[in-house]
């Protein structure tokens, strides 16, 4: 199939770790013999704006080849706090870029908002499309962003949609008023994320000491609630004097997190690592004793799959698609967002960890092939090819 992907989230030379899961999915579809083209409209960044994020946007190339995929990045006018206007401009730039190339058989509007805004233009052009939901692009957009009506209209116009978790599929079905959603989960790279020798990983990361390490991976944003993870660790640390906490990620809450670490006097026991490339992240999983995830809202968190595939125990709040990954692992889901309750479970999990090979075996059922098969079937349905 000739597949075009219109998306706001994809890795680039300047932001190589942003949307790695999307690059992996489409590279694997390309490896299956499909022609895949990526179109990622970017906000026009005025030269006089000096913030790092604007400098990165300006530096992103208009054309790039990544993992064998042709990536195009047209520019559009983006005005902060004008979500509906921005979505329309994003869609217009994407559609113009698509018209400039070979006509696709199907377009995947990957990352439902703002990409789904292109559904109407594609319908007028007679090109079938599928909207793909990944998490906040559905939940936050239809929730606090107040754009549920617009997203629902886009879904009905597209007529086909999918998501990475059962929870998201149900939400998209609810919005559109039709049960047409398909589960197309992400997978995990079992070769990269595998059990490793803990001592070797710690040496490679220059980590001293043999005490347990609790790992938190993700953007330092409100939705991930890193402050809850810190507070729970601080309480658990009373019973675990050698334990340390490591945050891998960056985000707007970093300053607040640093201040809270000082307030709790945990400067010697909490590490702020910043972002990590996949190879380095795999070593962090190998060096650690437990992954802690305290999100308020999730799609289907890749970090949980990566940790399990690495043989690393997981303790996670029951948010969105997280339950789908952990419901068969006793003790892995946190029913309460309570500091004391999480701390108690942390202590128990570190003192009595589950068998790592069992975790690895559980992760094998979430390989990429399942999701790719479902995606191919959905795209054939959308194009009318049901062979």
Specify the higher pLDDT residue, 46 or 67: 67
In the predicted model, is pLDDT for residue 304 greater than 90?
yes
Contacts of 100 (CB under 8 A, 6+ apart): none
Kind plus residue range of the DSSP H or E element containing 333:
strand 333-334
| Residue ranges of domains in the chain | 2-187+367-383, 198-364
Is residue 376 within 8 Å of 130, Cβ to Cβ?
Answer: no
In the predicted model, is pLDDT for residue 48 greater than 70?
no
Q: Which CATH class is domain 198-364?
A: alpha beta
The tens digit of pLDDT for each residue in 153-189 reads 999 999 999 999 999 999 999 999 999 999 999 999 9
CA distance 360 to 368: 15
Q: Which fold has domain 2-187+367-383?
A: Rossmann fold (3.40.50)
pLDDT bucket at 50, cuts 50 / 70 / 90: low
Contacts of 80 (CB under 8 A, 6+ apart): none
Confirm whether 2-187+367-383 and 198-364 share one CATH topology.
yes
pTM, 2 dp: 0.89
């Amino acid at each position: 199939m000739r597949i075009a992907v219109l998306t706001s989230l994809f890795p680039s030379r300047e932001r190589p770790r942003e949307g790695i899961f999307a690059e992996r999915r489409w590279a694997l579809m390309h490896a299956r013999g499909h022609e895949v083209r990526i179109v990622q409209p970017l906000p026009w960044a005025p030269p006089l704006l000096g913030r790092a994020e604007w400098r990165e946007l300006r530096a992103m190339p208009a054309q790039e080849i990544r993992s064998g995929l042709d990536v195009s990045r047209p520019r559009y006018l983006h005005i902060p706090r004008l979500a509906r206007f921005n979505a329309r401009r994003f869609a217009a730039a994407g559609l113009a870029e698509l018209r400039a190339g070979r006509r696709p058989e199907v377009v995947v509007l990957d990352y439902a908002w703002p990409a789904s805004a292109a559904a109407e233009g594609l319908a007028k052009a007679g090109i079938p499309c599928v909207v793909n939901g990944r998490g906040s692009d559905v939940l936050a957009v239809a929730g606090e962003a107040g754009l549920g009506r617009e997203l629902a209209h886009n879904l009905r116009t597209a007529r086909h949609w999918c998501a990475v978790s059962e929870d998201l599929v149900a939400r998209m079905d609810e919005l559109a008023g039709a049960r047409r959603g398909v589960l197309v989960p992400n997978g995990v790279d079992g070769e990269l994320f595998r059990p490793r020798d803990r001592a070797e990983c710690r040496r490679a990361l220059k980590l001293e000491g043999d005490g347990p390490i609790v790992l938190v991976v993700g953007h330092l944003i409100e939705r991930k609630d890193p402050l809850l993870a810190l507070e729970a660790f601080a309480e658990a640390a009373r019973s675990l004097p050698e334990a340390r906490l490591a945050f891998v990620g960056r985000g707007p809450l970093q300053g607040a997190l640093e201040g809270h670490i000082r307030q709790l006097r945990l400067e010697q026991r909490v590490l702020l690592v910043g972002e990590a490339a996949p190879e380095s992240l795999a070593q962090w999983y190998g060096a650690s004793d437990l992954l802690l995830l305290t999100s308020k809202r999730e799609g289907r968190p890749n970090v949980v799959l990566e940790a399990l595939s690495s043989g690393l125990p997981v303790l996670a709040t029951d948010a969105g698609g997280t339950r789908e990954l952990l419901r068969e692992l006793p003790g892995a889901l946190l029913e309460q967002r309570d500091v004391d309750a999480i701390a108690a479970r942390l202590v128990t999990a570190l003192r009595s960890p589950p068998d790592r090979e069992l975790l690895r075996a559980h992760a094998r059922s979430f390989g990429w092939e399942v999701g790719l098969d479902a995606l191919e079937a959905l795209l054939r349905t959308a194009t009318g090819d049901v062979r």
